[in-house]
């Protein structure tokens, strides 16, 4: 049984803060199909989030599930399912793959055969057998809701919370979803609570909860709704709610609610399976048919004779896979999505092969050779000065070219890094939040992103460095150059991944990442020297400077190093220092990403 006792929720901590919910109390049994209705903004979704434990604000009251105080012992991930209004599936996966990956992330110990059987069974339950191999991106709204429901049922949760899953659907799809939820409640002896605006299917529910501006106006049988509100038809309930203030409805329910509670005189729910044998409930000692899971009198679990670590239906208690198993599943899924996205592949191909060509244009025929000063004694003063002038002009051009090529490489790789990760988490935030609610390890999630993006950065940086080295005959230590190219890409990728974990939308995350790249060139000091007071303040945060400086240090022993030193206005830092600073950028980015992923951002 789910028991809500005087639930209240405020946005802030002081007494003047807006109150979203005020002293909500209700009880619901397993096997019931419950609707939560009310005008927009009355607190319906907020109530669902409070039950799920993801509401933001100052909470009061208590929630008990099977006699357990959820404030002290929260839901296990396998104990409840939460179906949000938005899609919780990746667009480039098939229906079958979505359910399979959901099972792999939520239920431990399943073999490939077990998962295949589960997928087939769930597709049959939600009526999606014929769409098994269809991609999510081509599904209709109603089909996506069915898929979301199937993904939630992989762990056989005894309570299912559905947040406006019928909104925006055509009448036929709405009818089908309501009928399906009713079946899920009955067949699985499962409590299903559905938030909805629609009053079309009130007779399908066992209980109706009416909220009005954060207060409980009604929580009883659907057939008594019109009588309680003194209206001719249930469809008039929203209009009738406007006739009193919230406090008036709250007081009315407290005074008269006992006569309308849905547990009193409601039709008997089919919570039993026919059997001649009887067992005693361990709590209330009522006689119950052998084989049922929960007592019809008090709702307590009835242990089976051979339960062991299993439910009475013989299925194993669902537990989440380990962190390594989830990590492997996430990496596999991300790789599959990457290679299926043709737009992403073409973009990456354009970046990987196009950007190096842009850099190579400036040194396509190799770097110019530097002529030495003859310093001949047979030259007069005018000739010596002319030769010195020509040497300085040539050295300035060559030094600027070498420094510019390096900085061009670095800036383009920072741009690739921003493109790699700017949308990575923000673009799938709601899917991640849903999976986190279902038991996904944050460490496994962040680690999967680090591995995938690390591979992408390595490919981009390796090709950039090799292409420029051999096309332009670029001098210096190639291994050191490749290292610093990879580090600047990885540093920007890591920092932009952190930005993505904090931003509310993919568009905002992309914009912030591009702005960050835009500051790299001017604040690096490689092109125009910064003021003496600004350079030391800005430089620690500019990854482009440390990579540029580290790559130029690879030219030590070459004449180009001295020539570059003649033209740049910003001093170079030691390669070891550059290495450590870029590693710190990467580490800080990963740490901030983890912290950003810990924050709940469920809409």
Q: What is the CATH number of the domain that holds 67?
A: 3.40.50.300
- Whole-number pLDDT of residue 304: 41
Q: Evaluate whether residue 497 is within a structural domain.
A: yes
- Whole-number pLDDT of residue 293: 43
Q: Are 9 and 46 in contact (CB under 8 A)?
A: yes
Helix axes 429-437, 442-471, angle to 10 degrees: 140
Q: Are 292 and 201 contained in the same domain? A: no
Would you state the structure tokens that stand for residue 485, as one six-digit string? 């190219």
Any idea what DSSP says for residue 303? Answer: -
With pLDDT > 70 as the criterion, what percentage of the chain qualifies? 85
Secondary structure of residue 374 in the 3-state scheme: coil
Residue 373 has pLDDT above 60, yes or no: no
Name which of 148-162, 386-400, 533-547 the model is least confident about.
Answer: 386-400
Instruction: Please tell me which residue in 97, 125, 152, 164 is annotated as part of the active site.
Output: 164
Separation between Cα atoms, residue 131 and residue 139, nearest integer Å = 9
- Whole-number pLDDT of residue 87: 75
- H helices present in 258-341, as ranges: 323-340
- Whole-number pLDDT of residue 408: 93
Q: Evaluate whether residue 299 is within a structural domain.
A: yes
- Write the pLDDT tens digit of every residue in 286-316: 665 544 444 545 545 444 433 333 443 333 4
- Count CB-CB contacts under 10 A for residue 364: 10
Name which of 122-131, 239-248, 554-563 the model is least confident about.
Answer: 554-563
**439-457: average pLDDT:** 96
Give the residue from 261, 295, 321 where a domain finishes: 321
Q: Are 131 and 28 contained in the same domain? A: yes
Secondary structure of residue 36 in the 3-state scheme: strand
- Write the pLDDT tens digit of every residue in 490-513: 999 999 999 999 998 999 999 999
Q: Are 558 and 592 contained in the same domain? A: yes
Residue 361: alpha-carbon gap to chain centroid = 41
Q: Are 37 and 121 contained in the same domain? A: yes
Helix axes 112-125, 171-187, angle to 10 degrees: 120
- Whole-number pLDDT of residue 364: 74
Reported as a pLDDT band with limits 50, 70 and 90, residue 600 is: confident
- Whole-number pLDDT of residue 521: 86
Question: Model pTM?
Answer: 0.84
* DSSP symbols for 169-232: --HHHHHHHHHHHHHHHHHTT-EEEEE-S--TTGGG-SEEEEEETTEEEEEE-GGGHHHHHT-S
Reported as a pLDDT band with limits 50, 70 and 90, residue 393 is: low
Separation between Cα atoms, residue 475 and residue 402, nearest integer Å = 10
> Average model confidence (pLDDT) for the chain?
84
Residue 260 has pLDDT above 70, yes or no: yes
Q: Evaluate whether residue 378 is within a structural domain.
A: no
The three-state (H, E, C) secondary structure of 57-102, written as one string: CEEEEEEEECCEECCCCCCCHHHEEEECCCCCCCCCCEHHHHHHHH
Q: Are 108 and 233 contained in the same domain? A: yes
Q: Evaluate whether residue 287 is within a structural domain.
A: yes
Q: Are 432 and 463 contained in the same domain? A: yes
Q: How many Cα atoms within 13 Å fall on the side-chain side of residue 585?
A: 29
Q: Are 519 and 506 contained in the same domain? A: yes
Overall domain count for the chain: 3
Give the contacts of 81 (CB within 8 A, at least 6 positions apart). Answer: 152, 153, 155, 157, 159, 160, 161, 438
- 598 membership: H or E segment, kind and range: helix 575-598
Burial of 35 (0-12, 13-18, 19+ CB in 10 A): buried
Q: Are 241 and 357 contained in the same domain? A: no
Q: Evaluate whether residue 580 is within a structural domain.
A: yes
Q: Are 20 and 57 contained in the same domain? A: yes
Name which of 87-91, 228-232, 249-253, 308-312 the model is least confident about.
Answer: 308-312
- Whole-number pLDDT of residue 312: 33
- Whole-number pLDDT of residue 164: 87
Q: Evaluate whether residue 394 is within a structural domain.
A: no
Q: Evaluate whether residue 471 is within a structural domain.
A: yes
- 456 membership: H or E segment, kind and range: helix 442-471
Residue 135 belongs to domain spanning: 2-270
Separation between Cα atoms, residue 95 and residue 117, nearest integer Å = 14
Q: Evaluate whether residue 385 is within a structural domain.
A: no
- Write the pLDDT tens digit of every residue in 572-596: 899 999 999 999 999 999 999 999 9
Q: Are 26 and 187 in contact (CB under 8 A)?
A: no
Pairing relationship of beta strands 58-65 and 68-69 according to DSSP bridges: antiparallel
Residue 76 has pLDDT above 50, yes or no: yes
- Whole-number pLDDT of residue 292: 44
- Whole-number pLDDT of residue 385: 66
Indicate if 130 belongs to the active site.
no
- Write the pLDDT tens digit of every residue in 406-434: 999 999 999 999 999 999 999 999 999 99
CA distances from 42 to 30, 62, 83, 491 (A): 25, 20, 20, 45
Secondary structure of residue 298 in the 3-state scheme: coil
């Amino acid at each position: 049984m789910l028991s809500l006792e005087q639930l209240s929720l405020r946005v802030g901590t002081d007494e003047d803060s807006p109150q979203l919910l005020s002293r909500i109390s209700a009880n619901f049994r397993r096997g019931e199909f419950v609707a939560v209705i009310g005008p927009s903004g009355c607190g319906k979704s907020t109530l669902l989030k409070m039950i799920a434990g993801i509401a933001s604000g100052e909470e009061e009251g208590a929630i008990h599930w099977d006699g357990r105080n959820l404030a002290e012992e929260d839901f296990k991930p396998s104990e409840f399912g939460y179906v949000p209004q938005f899609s919780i599936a990746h667009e480039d996966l098939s229906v079958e793959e979505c359910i399979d990956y959901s099972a792999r992330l939520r239920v431990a110990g399943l073999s490939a055969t077990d998962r295949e059987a589960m997928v087939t069974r769930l597709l049959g339950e939600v009526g999606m057998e014929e769409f098994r191999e269809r991609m999510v991106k081509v599904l209709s709204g109603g089909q996506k809701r069915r898929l979301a429901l199937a993904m939630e049922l992989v762990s056989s949760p005894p309570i299912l919370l559905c947040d406006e899953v019928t909104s925006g659907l055509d009448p036929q799809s709405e009818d089908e979803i309501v009928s399906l939820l009713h079946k899920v409640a009955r067949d699985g002896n499962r409590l299903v609570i559905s938030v909805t605006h629609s009053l079309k299917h009130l007779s399908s529910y066992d209980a109706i909860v009416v909220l009005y501006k954060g207060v409980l106006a009604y929580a009883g049988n659907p057939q008594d709704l019109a009588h309680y509100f003194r209206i001719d038809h249930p469809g008039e309930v929203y209009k009738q709610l406007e006739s009193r203030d919230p406090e008036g409805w709250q007081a009315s329910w407290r005074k008269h609610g006992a006569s309308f509670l849905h547990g009193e005189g409601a039709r008997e729910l089919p919570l039993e399976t026919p059997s001649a044998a009887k067992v005693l409930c361990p709590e209330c000692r009522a006689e119950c048919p052998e084989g049922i899971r929960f007592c019809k009198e008090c709702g307590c679990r009835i242990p089976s004779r051979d339960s062991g670590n299993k439910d009475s239906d013989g299925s194993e208690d669902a537990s989440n896979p380990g962190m390594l198993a989830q990590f492997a599943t996430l990496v596999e899924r991300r790789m599959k999505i990457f290679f299926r996205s043709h737009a992403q592949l073409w973009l990456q191909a354009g970046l990987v092969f196009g950007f190096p060509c842009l850099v190579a244009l400036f040194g396509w025929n190799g770097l110019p050779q530097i002529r030495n000063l003859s310093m001949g004694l047979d030259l007069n003063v005018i000739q010596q000065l002319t030769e010195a002038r020509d040497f300085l002009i040539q050295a300035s051009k060559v030094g600027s070219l070498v420094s510019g090529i390096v900085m061009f490489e670095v800036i383009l790789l920072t741009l690739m890094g921003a493109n790699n990760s700017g949308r990575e988490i923000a673009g799938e935030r709601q899917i991640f939040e849903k999976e986190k609610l279902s038991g996904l390890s944050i460490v496994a999630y962040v680690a999967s992103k680090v591995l995938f993006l690390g591979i992408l950065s390595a490919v981009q940086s390796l090709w950039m460095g090799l292409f420029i080295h051999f096309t332009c005959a670029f001098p210096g230590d190639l291994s050191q150059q490749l290292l610093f190219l990879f580090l600047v890409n990885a540093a920007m990728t890591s920092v932009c991944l952190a930005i993505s974990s904090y931003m509310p939308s993919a568009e905002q995350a992309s914009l912030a990442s591009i702005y960050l790249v835009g500051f790299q060139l001017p604040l690096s000091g490689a092109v125009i020297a910064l003021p003496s007071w600004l350079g030391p303040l800005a430089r620690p945060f500019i990854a482009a400077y440390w990579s540029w400086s580290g790559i130029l240090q690879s030219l030590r022993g070459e004449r180009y190093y001295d020539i570059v030193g003649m033209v740049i206005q910003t001093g170079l830092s030691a390669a070891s220092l550059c290495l450590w600073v870029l590693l710190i950028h990467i580490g800080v980015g990963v740490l901030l990403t983890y912290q950003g992923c810990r924050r709940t951002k469920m809409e």
